[in-house]
C-alpha cells in the first residue's frame, strides 16, 4: 500500500501547465526499424501515391499519413489554442482504487473525457478540421459508430466554420438518439447508414435488407459522398497513421507528467478499437523501447467479440466494406466481418492501425481480449471509488489494469500500472441498464465466423 509520504509527494491529479502542452506530435514510425507496410492502391496493388489520395483526403493529412521518417510534426498554433480549452488532460493517481483493491501496485490513468465530446477523439478531429479549412474546403464527410467521433468532428467543424456530414451506423443512430442530437447542436448533418443516398449504401441495403449497418459500410458511404461533393474530403477518426500521430499528445503529456515526478510505468494498458488512443498513449514510451533507452510492457485490450489483434490475420485488407479505400497491411478480421451488436461501440472495427499491427507482429506489444460483462463489472468497481463514469470502451483497459493490480497483490510486487481512460459513458446508459438487469450477453465469434469474414482478403 502507498504511504502517507507518497500521497504527499504525488498528488491525486497531476496537472501540467499550459506552457507544458506538447508543441509537436511524435511520429513513432521514425524510430521503427521494421516500418509499417505501405498503403496500396486497391486496383493496381502498387503503393498508393499522394495524387491518388488527393481526391479523398486533405493534402497535409496525406503528407502525415505517408511520412515514416520525420520524428516530429509541429502542432500549428491554431490547434494548440484549441487544445488549451481542454488540455493538458489530467494524469490521475488512482489512490482510491488501489486502496479498494488492497494492492501494492501504483495505478495511474490519463483521463481524456473532460470535453463535451466525452473522449480523446477531439484531439484528432480539431487537427483534421484545421487542415481541411486551411486547404479552403467547404466541408468534410465521415462515419461514426458509437458517436464519439461524429460528435468530436462536429465540434471541430463548427469551430472552423466547416460543413460536417456524418454517416452514423444505423443501430447506433437508433440506440443513441442523444448522441445524434449533440452532433446537430454543433450543426452537423447526420444520416443513418446504410442509407439510400449513396450507390454503395443502396447496394448494401439490397444485399442485406434490414441490416443494422457497420463501420466499414459507413466508411464506404462517407468516402463516396466526399468524392461526389465539390469541395469536400473524407476524414477518419481512428485506424489511420495520421490519427495516431495526433493522439500522441496523450502520451507526450503523460510522459512529461510522469517524468516530473520521477515515476516510470512498468506496464502500459490501453483499449484498442482502431488503435488511435493506445498508439497515442504508448508512442513516446515505445519510442524509448525501440531506441533501447528503456523497457516497458504494453498491453492492448480488445473485446472478445471483435478480436483483431488476437485472432485476426496480419495481412493486406480493405479498410471498408465497399472496398473503395486503399489497402492497409494490418491485423484484420476481414472487411466482411460484421461483429455481433454489443456495447463496446467504438471498438467494433475489423482492422487495426498498421503501425500497431507491425509492432504486435514484431513481438513488441501484447494483446488480450475481455468479455463484455466483466468489462462492465470493472467499470462499476472503478466508478464507485474513482468517481468517473467510464465509457464502455475505456473500461476494457480498466478491467485489465485491475487484473494486473490484483496479480501484484498476490506477488507483493509494487508495479507501476498506467492506463488510458479514453472517455465518459453518459451516452451509454442503455448498456449499463442492460448490465444491471442481467440482460447483457457475451459473444465470442466462432472460428468459422472469423474465417468467413476473412474469405475475401485481397490477393497481394
Ligand atoms: C473511439 C473510442 C475508442 C476506440 O478508438 P481507438 O482508435 O482504438 O482509440 C476508445 N474509447 C473511446 C471513449 C472512444 O470513443
Q: What is the mean pLDDT of each run of 10 residues along the chain (460 residues)?
A: 93 96 98 97 94 94 97 98 97 98 98 96 98 98 93 98 96 89 97 96 93 86 94 95 98 98 98 97 98 98 96 94 85 87 75 97 98 97 98 98 98 98 94 95 93 91
Confidence at residue 336, expressed as pLDDT on a 0 to 100 scale: 83
| Cα distance between residue 27 and residue 254, in whole Å | 16
Q: How far is the CA of 407 from the centre of ligand 1 (A)?
A: 26
Distance CA 379, CA 170 (A): 26
Alpha carbon distance 119, 112 (integer Å): 6
Which residues lie below 8 Å from residue 361, measured CB to CB, with a gap of 6+?
Answer: 314, 331
| Helix %, strand %, coil % of the chain (to 5) | 45, 15, 40
pLDDT given for residue 325 in this prediction: 82
What are phi and psi for residue 85, nearest 5 degrees? -65, -30
Q: What is the pLDDT of residue 212?
A: 87
Best residue among 276, 367, 421 to mutate for probing ligand 1's pocket (most ligand atoms within 8 Å of CB) is 276
pLDDT of residue 310: 97
Ligand 1 mean position, distance from CA 3 (Å) = 34
Identify the pLDDT of residue 399. 98
Identify the residue whose C-alpha is closest to ligand 1 atom 7: 276
Q: What is the DSSP string of 260-280?
A: HTT---SEEEEE-SSSHHHHH
**Which residues line ligand 1 at a C-beta cut-off of 6 Å?**
119, 121, 148, 238, 271-278, 346-347, 391, 393-394, 422-423
The kind and range of the H/E element at 286 are helix 276-290
Residue with cell 458511404: 221
Q: Which residues share a beta bridge with 460? A: none
118 CA closest ligand 1 atom index: 13
What pLDDT score was predicted for residue 319? 86
Grid coordinates belonging to 220: 464506404
Distances, alpha carbon 174 to alpha carbons 33, 117, 275, in Å: 45, 19, 26
Could you report how far apart the first and last alpha carbons of the chain are, in Å? 53
Grid cell of 327 as nine digits: 489497402
For residue 424, what pLDDT is reported? 97
Could you tell me which residues are beta bridge partners of residue 25? 73
Grid cell for residue 71: 520524428
Ligand 1 atom, smallest distance to 275 CA = 8
Name the burial class of residue 72, with classes exposed (0-12), middle (13-18) and buried (19+) by CB atoms within 10 angstroms of its CB.
middle
How far apart are the CA of 349 and the centre of ligand 1, in A? 10
Nearest ligand 1 atom, CA 238 = 7
3-state secondary structure (DSSP) of residue 344: coil
pLDDT of residue 337: 87
Q: Which residue's CA lies nearest to atom 10 of ligand 1?
A: 393
Q: Which candidate, 85, 87, 93, places its Cα nearest to that of 14?
A: 93
Round to whole Å and give the CA distance between 309 and 288. Answer: 23
pTM of the model: 0.97
Amino acid at each position: 500500500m502507498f504511504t502517507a509520504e507518497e500521497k504527499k509527494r504525488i498528488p491525486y491529479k497531476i496537472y501540467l501547465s499550459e506552457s507544458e502542452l506538447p508543441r509537436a506530435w511524435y511520429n513513432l514510425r521514425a524510430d521503427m526499424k521494421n516500418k509499417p507496410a505501405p498503403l496500396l492502391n486497391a486496383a493496381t496493388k502498387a503503393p498508393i501515391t499522394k495524387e491518388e489520395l488527393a481526391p479523398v483526403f486533405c493534402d497535409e493529412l496525406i503528407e502525415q499519413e505517408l511520412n515514416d521518417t520525420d520524428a516530429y510534426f509541429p502542432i500549428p498554433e491554431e490547434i494548440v489554442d484549441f487544445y488549451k480549452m481542454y488540455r493538458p488532460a489530467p494524469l490521475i493517481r488512482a489512490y482510491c482504487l488501489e486502496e479498494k483493491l488492497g494492492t501494492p501496485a501504483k495505478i495511474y490513468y490519463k483521463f481524456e473525457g473532460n470535453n463535451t465530446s466525452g473522449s480523446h477523439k477531439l484531439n484528432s478531429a480539431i487537427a483534421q478540421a484545421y487542415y481541411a479549412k486551411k486547404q479552403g474546403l467547404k466541408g468534410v464527410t465521415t462515419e461514426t459508430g458509437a458517436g464519439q467521433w461524429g460528435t468530436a468532428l462536429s465540434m471541430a467543424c463548427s469551430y472552423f466554420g466547416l460543413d460536417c456530414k456524418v454517416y452514423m451506423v444505423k443501430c447506433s443512430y437508433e440506440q443513441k438518439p442523444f448522441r445524434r442530437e449533440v452532433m446537430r447542436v454543433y450543426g452537423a448533418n447526420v444520416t443513418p447508414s446504410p442509407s439510400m443516398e449513396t450507390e454503395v449504401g443502396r447496394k448494401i441495403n439490397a444485399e442485406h435488407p434490414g441490416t443494422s449497418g457497420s463501420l466499414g459500410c459507413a466508411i464506404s458511404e462517407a468516402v463516396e459522398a466526399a468524392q461526389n461533393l465539390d469541395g469536400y474530403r473524407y476524414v477518419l477518426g481512428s485506424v489511420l497513421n495520421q490519427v495516431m500521430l495526433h493522439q500522441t499528445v496523450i502520451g507526450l503529456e503523460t510522459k512529461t507528467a510522469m517524468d516530473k515526478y520521477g515515476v516510470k510505468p512498468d506496464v502500459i494498458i490501453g483499449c484498442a478499437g482502431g488503435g488511435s488512443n493506445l498508439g497515442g498513449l504508448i508512442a513516446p514510451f515505445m519510442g524509448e523501447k525501440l531506441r533501447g533507452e528503456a523497457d516497458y510492457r504494453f498491453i492492448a485490450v480488445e473485446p472478445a467479440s471483435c478480436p483483431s489483434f488476437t485472432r485476426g490475420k496480419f495481412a493486406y485488407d480493405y479498410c471498408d466494406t465497399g472496398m473503395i479505400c486503399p489497402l492497409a497491411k494490418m491485423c484484420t478480421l476481414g472487411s466482411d466481418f460484421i461483429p455481433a451488436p454489443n456495447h463496446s461501440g467504438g471498438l467494433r472495427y475489423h482492422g487495426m492501425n498498421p503501425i500497431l499491427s507491425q509492432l504486435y507482429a514484431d513481438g513488441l506489444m501484447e494483446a488480450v481480449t475481455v468479455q463484455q460483462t466483466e468489462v462492465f463489472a470493472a467499470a462499476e468497481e472503478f466508478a464507485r471509488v474513482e468517481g468517473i463514469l467510464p465509457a464502455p470502451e475505456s473500461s476494457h483497459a480498466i478491467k485489465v489494469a485491475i487484473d494486473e493490480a490484483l496479480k501484484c497483490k498476490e506477488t507483493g510486487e509494487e508495479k507501476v500500472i498506467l492506463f488510458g481512460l479514453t472517455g465518459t459513458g453518459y451516452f451509454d446508459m442503455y448498456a449499463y441498464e442492460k448490465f444491471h438487469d442481467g440482460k447483457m450477453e457475451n459473444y465470442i465469434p466462432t472460428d468459422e465466423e472469423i474465417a468467413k469474414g476473412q474469405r475475401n482478403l485481397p490477393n497481394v
